Amino acid sequence: MPKLHSMMLTVFIIMGMSLSTPALSAFPSLWGDEPMPSLAPMLKEATPAVVNIATEGRVVEKTPLLSDPILRHFFNIPEQQERKTANLGSGVIVDADKGYILTNHHVIDKAEVIHVTLHDGRRLQAKLIGADDETDIAVIQIKAENLKALPLADSSKLQVGDFVVAIGSPFGLRQTVTSGIVSALGRSGLGIESYEDFIQTDASINPGNSGGALVNLRGELVGLNTAILGPNGGNIGIGFAIPSSMAQDIMIQLIRDGKVRRGRLGIVAQDLTPELASAFGINRNAGAVVAQVETGTPANKAGLKAGDVITHVNGHKVTGSADMRNVIGLLPVGSEVEMKILRNGKKVSAKAVIQEPERHAVKGEELSPYLAGLVFSDSEEGFVVISEASPNSRAAREGLRPGDILLSINRMPVQRVAELESAVKRSARGILINIQRGNSAFFLVLK
């Protein structure tokens, strides 16, 4: 995962986005007797579909003084404290008849009450239909008459230089409209979300606009505003939006199942570097190299081998391992995948059917007393995650938390729960654990 701190910049998942830089439009109005370019006619149709979202919730936090048993005993300090939370963001009505609204997962995360304020001032309570933190997409629903929905555009047809307009509620200011251009496409590797294929704009992004609409000059939704890159949260003209095509695919699954059921291909892939291309004897600078094929998986049954270079999946050009992960990770279970491959310099094809991922879990005490109180689980993405951590356990006191990703034990990389036992056996005077948490990674020694 790249370290953006080296550029003196930070990626911020925001509560909103906004765009600057005036743009010419195909919608003329009059200034006196002279026609003047204006976005007003388009925005008159589009802005009623963008809503303000306000949430209320509660979180339970561990009391910092709990770690001191003397203070806990004599001063009766509660083990946990409850804190009220509030959040602001934006959303886009995408189905007027059923009242479905697209927004970001982080806007409604841990919300107990979700309030939606419409363009005309109506304030309604919304119901959560489903959310996916891997893509930062959520769907909520309201019941109301005379709603206006935004049509979804095919974001794959966007080009760098296209004019776009952002609509949302930065800083809680409802119905703020700003404009800019598409600065880049297919941005990934930012560490904002697990699945990244961002539209980059020269947007003036501000808190409160997350989940708002990024539209083209026809008033069609091309993206869901999500994050910025900037020092201390300030805008420097680098903003990111989730493409509407990705948002639509996730939305369909959330409405149908309430969650995203990701499938599994069964490979470990890495980027095709110039050095690897030279070693494989191929003249190519893009693709995903198969580093490992897991036994009994769809990839194994399809005949994939280590050293294969995947160049296309279902007609989509694969630029690297992140791109490969995005394509496969967004396919539902049961989908057929057709891949174009370079093997020993020759072009071959392979087909596989995405299957339900095999998920396993193991209690830490079954492996070692040092790991007591932890539960390790296989993730859908091919890594081991700490799914539970008892607050009173030694491991939790040392700093391990639920959601931490386990990279290695005693310097032995682990990708499945089944690999934990052999890694733990190598410990003599404790266990050395390498953990990834968010954008950072660190080592811990459990003794």
- Any domain includes 320: yes
In angstroms, the CA 233 to CA 59 distance is: 24
pLDDT band per the 50, 70, 90 thresholds, residue 341: very high
Query: Strands, E, within 161-255: which ranges?
Result: 163-168, 176-187, 198-201, 213-215, 221-230, 239-243
- CATH of residue 201: 2.40.10.10
Give the pLDDT confidence score for residue 191 in this predicted structure: 65
Q: Which residues contact 73 (CB under 8 A, 6 or more apart)?
A: none
Q: Which residue has the higher pLDDT, 256 or 235?
A: 256
Give the pLDDT confidence score for residue 205 in this predicted structure: 67
Q: Does one domain contain both 44 and 126?
A: yes
Annotated active-site residue 106? The verdict is: yes
Instruction: Write the pLDDT tens digit of every residue in 177-192.
Output: 888 899 998 887 676 6
Q: Does one domain contain both 245 and 289?
A: no
Q: Which residue has the higher pLDDT, 351 or 366?
A: 351
In angstroms, the CA 201 to CA 389 distance is: 40
Give the pLDDT confidence score for residue 64 in this predicted structure: 54
Q: Which two tokens stand for residue 185?
A: 């496409």
What mean pLDDT comes out for the span 194-218?
Answer: 82
Show which of 257, 279, 311 is a domain's final residue.
Answer: 257
- Any domain includes 424: yes
Alpha helices, DSSP H, located in 258-366: 274-280, 298-301, 321-329
Q: Single out the catalytic residue among 106, 132, 169, 244.
A: 106
- Any domain includes 146: no
Highest mean pLDDT among 18-22, 144-148, 231-235: 144-148
Annotated active-site residue 440? The verdict is: no
Q: Does one domain contain both 119 and 67?
A: yes
Show which of 87, 110, 141 is a domain's final residue.
Answer: 141
- Are 380 and 262 in contact by the 8 Å Cβ rule? The answer is yes
- Any domain includes 161: yes
Task: Single out the residue of 202, 204, 198 nearest to residue 235, CA to CA.
Answer: 204
Phi, psi of 206 (to 5 degrees): -140, 155
- Any domain includes 112: yes
Q: Does one domain contain both 369 and 222?
A: no
Q: What is the mean pLDDT of the chain?
A: 81
Q: Single out the catalytic residue among 136, 197, 323, 378.
A: 136
Give the pLDDT confidence score for residue 235 in this predicted structure: 62
Number of domains in the chain: 4
- CATH of residue 437: 2.30.42.10
- Any domain includes 335: yes
Q: Does one domain contain both 346 and 399?
A: no
Show which of 111, 141, 171 is a domain's final residue.
Answer: 141
Instruction: Write the pLDDT tens digit of every residue in 19-53.
Output: 333 444 444 555 566 677 788 889 999 999 999 99
Percent of residues, the chain, with pLDDT higher than 70: 81
Percent of residues, the chain, with pLDDT higher than 90: 28
What one-letter code names the amino acid at 127? K
Give the pLDDT confidence score for residue 326 in this predicted structure: 79
* Residue linked to tokens 């949260």: 233
In angstroms, the CA 78 to CA 137 distance is: 35
Give the pLDDT confidence score for residue 71 in this predicted structure: 55
Q: Does one domain contain both 18 and 38?
A: no
- Any domain includes 262: no
Q: Does one domain contain both 242 and 226?
A: yes
Instruction: Write the pLDDT tens digit of every residue in 278-322.
Output: 888 888 888 889 988 888 888 999 999 988 999 999 888 888 887
Give the pLDDT confidence score for residue 22 in this predicted structure: 41
Is residue 231 over pLDDT 90? no
Q: Does one domain contain both 100 and 74?
A: yes
Q: Does one domain contain both 243 and 280?
A: no
pLDDT band per the 50, 70, 90 thresholds, residue 202: confident
- Any domain includes 441: yes
Q: Does one domain contain both 290 and 241?
A: no
Cα dist. 249→82, 222, 231, 386 in Å?
36, 13, 33, 29
Q: Single out the catalytic residue among 155, 188, 210, 244.
A: 210
Cα dist. 323→216, 329, 343 in Å?
25, 10, 20
Annotated active-site residue 378? The verdict is: no
In angstroms, the CA 206 to CA 203 distance is: 9
Q: Which two tokens stand for residue 37?
A: 């370019």
pLDDT band per the 50, 70, 90 thresholds, residue 204: confident
Give the pLDDT confidence score for residue 137 in this predicted structure: 94
Q: Does one domain contain both 348 and 370?
A: no
pTM tops 0.75: no
Classify the C-alpha dihedral 447-439-245-90 as positive or negative: positive
pLDDT band per the 50, 70, 90 thresholds, residue 428: low
Q: Does one domain contain both 74 and 128?
A: yes
Q: Which residue has the higher pLDDT, 410 or 429?
A: 410
pLDDT band per the 50, 70, 90 thresholds, residue 1: very low
Task: Single out the residue of 177, 171, 180 nearest to residue 236, CA to CA.
Answer: 180
The DSSP code for 221 is: E
Which domain range does residue 10 map to?
Answer: 4-24+151-257
